[in-house]
Amino acid sequence: MKPASFNLFIRAMTAVGLVTVLFIGVGFIQPRMARANVPPSACSATPLFTNGTFVTGIGNGAGGADTSSPVSPDTGFGYLADPTRTQTTPDGVNRARLADDFTVTGNGWRPSAITLYAYQISSTTTSPITGVVNLRLWNGPPGDGGTVIAGPVDGTIISNQWTNVYRVPANDLLQTGRPIMAVTIQWPFGNASLLPGTYWLEWGIAGDPALLGPWTPPTNAAAGDNARQLNLTGGDPGTWAPRADYSSGRVVGLPFVICGDSIPTPQMTSLSPSSATVGGSTFTLIVNGSGFINGSGSDRSIVYWNGSPRPTTFVSSTQLTAAIDASDIATAGTVDVTVVNPGNVTSNAATFTIENPAPTLTSMSPTTATAGGAGVTLTVTGTNFVSGSVVRWNGSDRPTTFGSATTLQASIPASDLATAGTASVTVFTPGPGGGETSALTFTIQSSNPSPTIPTITNVSPDSITVGTTDITLTINGNNFENGAVVRWNSTALATTFVSATQLTATLPAAQRSGAGTGNITVVNPGGGESNTVTATIRYHVSVPIIMR
Closest to 81 measured CA to CA, from 251, 236, 218: 218
What superfamily does domain 360-445 belong to in CATH?
Immunoglobulins (2.60.40.10)
Structural domain spans, the chain: 10-15+76-164+177-262, 267-353, 360-445, 455-538
The Cα–Cα gap between 443 and 506 comes to 23
CATH classification (class only), 455-538: mainly beta
**For position 360, what pLDDT does the model report?**
94
Q: Average pLDDT of each block of 10 consecutive residues along the chain (548 residues)?
A: 34 28 28 37 70 91 93 73 90 93 94 94 96 96 95 94 92 94 92 89 97 93 83 93 84 91 94 92 96 89 96 96 95 94 94 93 91 92 91 94 94 92 92 90 78 90 83 93 90 92 92 85 86 85 51
Task: Give the count of beta carbons closer than 10 Å to the beta carbon of residue 172.
Answer: 9
**For position 39, what pLDDT does the model report?**
40
- Residues with Cβ within 8 Å of residue 234, at least 6 apart in sequence: none
The Cα–Cα gap between 35 and 57 comes to 10
Answer whether the bond into residue 366 is a cis peptide, omega within 30°: yes
The span from the first CA to the last CA of the chain, in angstroms, equals 129
Closest to 218 measured CA to CA, from 180, 185, 164: 180
Three-state DSSP state, 430? coil
pTM (two decimals) = 0.64
Residue 408 has phi, psi (to 5 degrees) of -130, 155
Could you tell me the sign of the dihedral formed by the alpha carbons of 372, 378, 382, 388, in that order?
A: positive
On whether the CB atoms of residues 368 and 442 are closer than 8 A, the answer is: yes
Could you tell me the sign of the dihedral formed by the alpha carbons of 292, 295, 301, 305, in that order?
A: positive
pLDDT digit string (tens) for 319-360? 999 999 999 998 889 999 999 999 899 999 999 999 999 999
AA identity, residue 184: T
Domains 267-353 and 455-538 share a fold: yes
**For position 30, what pLDDT does the model report?**
31
The Cα–Cα gap between 243 and 357 comes to 73
Q: Where are the alpha helices (DSSP H) in 29-152?
A: none
pLDDT digit string (tens) for 258-268? 998 899 999 99
**For position 36, what pLDDT does the model report?**
39
The torsion angle over the Cα atoms of residues 99, 103, 109 and 111, rounded to 10 degrees, is -20
Burial call 488-521: b when 16+ CB within 10 Å, e when fewer = beeeebebebeeeeebbbebeeebbeeeeebebb
Burial call 88-125: b when 16+ CB within 10 Å, e when fewer = ebeeebbbbbbbbbbebeebbbbbbbbbbbbbbeebee
**Domain 267-353, CATH:** 2.60.40.10
The Cα–Cα gap between 89 and 70 comes to 17
**For position 135, what pLDDT does the model report?**
97
The DSSP secondary-structure symbol of 109 reads: E
- Strands 421-429 and 407-412, sheet pairing: unpaired
The DSSP secondary-structure symbol of 543 reads: P
Could you tell me the sign of the dihedral formed by the alpha carbons of 78, 80, 82, 86, in that order?
A: positive
**For position 215, what pLDDT does the model report?**
95
